[in-house]
């Protein structure tokens, strides 16, 4: 197991390339199961989650080959049973349900695991499959689904905390090979779903409306192979943008899509950071005097829950009181106690965190609880005086490609050490 040792107090300066989006690549890889023909996905980040899904696809019978930033997948002969011990360890593996049902009309997948950030039920995924005509049950820790045929239907996917992203992806993929027309109402609108729709259409599907609350899928008889480049990771971009503001540095994000994380950039400008979009380049520059702000996480295109922890770290440096409210996951404040070890003054009041600043953070050993909490603690270490050790960084490696190397390119004093 590895840790990051950070000697903070150094502003970040320079350029950092933004990798392909993990949350786009995982459904794209799963979609390759919908055809017997070879598919190639480019701009694939080298992440443990991506490699892990490759192992799961291999266990299903697909041929998976990684080369550089591409992955070639050929699913000529596959089975419907996904290995329990593999699937239960990764939340994103639930995205296999839709393509297995579309291709084979049956699926048997263990209930998935992932970060401990609150309840993330799969009920909307199951609702979507049932609407298309599948018989679905949960037994022995497995989701078991079967259908003689899938038939297009109108499916409402709104949930307690908003639309389901992977649930929308699953219905899109299954419905692509269903009989008739499927209409998803209250669909998730994330850019990653637009990316998936573009890939499905390149394979011969007929998907329209992706990126809006209503998606229409006209089922086709079969899909063919295709090549596709995944979009850049908006959460990685948001993380480096926040880190630039937090360290009072200046960082240019190459390859980022500002239109995919407007809400984060808007908040950064609100607190006093300079955001410069010019000639296809995005530069974020910090300021010595940061202003407090109120942030509420919302479904896209609102402020993303995946950037909440990082923003909280930034707000410890603002002059005044900031209120950060989490509306997506009820247990996504596990980073607060670890930020307190660095000297942060944060109080939890129901779904909100009250952040008082500015506080002088000082280095300390901290423990990461999940992927985005890890990023928040890294930013805290970059701000803090002295040395910070961030333990359990396997969470970071699930979602940030070589983050320690990228930070060193920006001047940070960061090294990876084995426990």
CA distance 385 to 381: 8
Query: What are the distances in angstroms from CA 380 to CA 12, 333, 340?
Result: 13, 15, 10
Element (H, E) at 337: helix 336-341
Q: Which two tokens stand for residue 370?
A: 């999940």
Q: Which of 29, 325, 24 is nearest to 190 (CA)?
A: 24
Question: Can you read off the two tokens belonging to residue 23?
Answer: 């949350």
- C-alpha 161, offset from chain centre: 16
Annotated active-site residue in 32, 39, 115, 189: 115
Which helix H or strand E contains 56, and what residues bound it? Answer: helix 48-59
Distance of CA 385 to the CA centre of its chain: 30
Dihedral of alpha carbons 380, 385, 391, 393, sign: positive
CA distance 107 to 82: 8
State the Cα angle at 382 between 378 and 387, rounded to 5°.
Answer: 90
| Known catalytic membership, residue 95 | no
Strand locations in 11-128 (E): 13-17, 39-42, 63-67, 70-74, 106-110
- Please state, in angstroms and rounded to a whole number, the distance separating the CA atoms of residues 101 and 144: 10
Does the CA dihedral 412-259-172-304 come out positive or negative? positive
Read off the tokens for 25: 């690549």
SS3 298: coil
Between CA 357 and CA 362, with CA 358 as vertex, the angle to 5 degrees is: 115
What is the chain's length? 419
Each residue of 212-244: b (16+ CB within 10 Å) or e? eeebbbebeeebebbebbbbbbbbbbbbbbbbb
DSSP class of residue 400 equals S
Residues labelled catalytic? 115
């Amino acid at each position: 197991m590895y840790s990051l040792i950070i000697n903070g107090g150094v502003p970040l300066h320079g350029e950092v390339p933004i990798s392909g989006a993990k949350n786009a690549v995982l459904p794209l890889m799963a979609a390759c199961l919908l055809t017997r023909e070879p598919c190639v996905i480019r701009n694939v980040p080298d992440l443990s989650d991506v490699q892990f899904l490759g192992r799961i696809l291999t266990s299903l019978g697909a041929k998976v080959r990684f080369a550089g930033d591409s992955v070639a997948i050929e699913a000529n002969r596959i089975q419907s049973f996904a290995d329990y011990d593999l699937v239960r360890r990764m939340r994103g593996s639930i995205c296999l349900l839709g393509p297995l049902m579309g291709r084979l009309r049956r699926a048997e997948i263990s209930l998935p695991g992932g970060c401990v950030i609150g309840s993330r039920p799969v009920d909307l995924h199951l609702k979507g499959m049932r609407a298309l005509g599948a018989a679905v049950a949960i037994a022995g820790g497995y989701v078991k689904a079967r259908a003689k045929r899938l038939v297009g239907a109108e499916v409402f996917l709104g949930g307690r905390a908003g639309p389901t992203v992977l649930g929308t992806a699953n219905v899109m993929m299954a419905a692509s090979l269903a009989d008739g027309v499927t209409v998803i109402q209250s669909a998730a609108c994330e850019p990653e779903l637009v990316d998936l729709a573009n890939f499905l259409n390149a394979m011969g599907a007929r998907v329209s409306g992706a990126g809006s609350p209503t998606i229409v899928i006209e089922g086709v008889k079969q899909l063919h192979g295709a090549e596709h480049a995944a979009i850049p990771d908006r959460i990685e971009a948001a993380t480096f943008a926040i880190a630039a503001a937090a360290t009072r540095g200046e960082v240019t994000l190459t390859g980022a899509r500002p239109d995919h994380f407007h809400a984060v950039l808007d908040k950064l400008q609100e607190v006093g950071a300079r955001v410069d979009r010019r000639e296809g380049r995005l530069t974020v520059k910090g300021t010595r005097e940061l202003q407090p702000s109120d942030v509420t996480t919302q479904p896209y295109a609102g402020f993303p829950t995946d950037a909440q922890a990082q923003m909280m770290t930034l707000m410890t440096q603002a002059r005044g009181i900031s209120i950060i409210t989490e509306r997506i996951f009820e247990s996504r404040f596990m980073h607060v106690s670890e930020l307190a070890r660095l000297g942060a003054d944060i109080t939890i009041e129901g779904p909100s965190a009250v952040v008082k600043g500015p506080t002088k953070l000082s280095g300390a050993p901290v423990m990461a609880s999940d992927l985005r909490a890890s990023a928040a603690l890294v930013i805290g270490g970059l701000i803090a005086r002295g040395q910070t050790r961030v333990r359990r960084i396997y969470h970071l490696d699930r979602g940030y490609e070589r983050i320690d190397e990228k930070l060193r390119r920006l001047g940070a004093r960061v090294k990876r050490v084995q426990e």
